[in-house]
Amino acid sequence: MVETLRLTVRNAACSGWEHVVKRDLRHVSGVEGVTASYKANLIGVTFDSSKITPAALQERIEALGYDVVPCG
């Protein structure tokens, strides 16, 4: 099942984080698309929930050094 995860980034110091997150997540099995906005401090990930969980995606982004929380 295709789902979209939206996360708020708390510690994005510059726009370079967008490229880092996009490049990394595009190689994850089950990820179908990634958007990131420095201005809005948001990440959007479209993924196949039968292949990867939202928690695993969040952990992957946090492993890159970014603090994230689900959008309300």
Overall residue count recorded for the chain in this entry: 72
pLDDT at 11: 78
pLDDT at 69: 86
Domain count, the chain: 1
CATH code, 28: 3.30.70.100
pLDDT at 10: 85
**Mean pLDDT, each 10-residue run in order, the chain (72 residues):** 92 82 94 93 95 95 90 68
43 vs 17: CA distance, rounded Å: 10
| Domain residue limits at 63 | 2-70
pLDDT at 72: 62
